[in-house]
Structure 1
Amino acid sequence: MAGAITLDKLENILQQAGFTEIDIERQVVSDQYANKWGIDDVDLKHYLRSSTITAYKPK
């Protein structure tokens, strides 16, 4: 996917920005969301993920 970033790179960016206790929870997207992309013959659920990111930045 264009514009995608690996979890390691994302975590590194957050660390460099001063965040700690970084937790990235990935989830498979719903069929409804995957179908919005309109690409036939490709199961996008193997490629798309939804993520919830929790991190703390000390003052």
Structure 2
Amino acid sequence: MNQAVDPLRAPNCMRCLHHYVTWDTRFPYGCRALGFKSLRLPSQEVFASSGQHCLHFHPRPVPAR
């Protein structure tokens, strides 16, 4: 089942198109879709503040080998 649809499972930010790693050591993780940086993974911040899993998750394209 797709992680974006599965309500029992938090999306993995490392596999999200919108996730990025920042140069800021205080806030190493960022989300381009929601426009913020945080100390924890963005999906954890979203769940902590809203009680819902992130609705902006889009899987990254898998690179061809």
- TM-score class, shorter: under 0.3
- Highest CA radius of gyration, 1 or 2? 1
Q: What TM-score results when the alignment is normalised by the length of structure 2?
A: 0.23
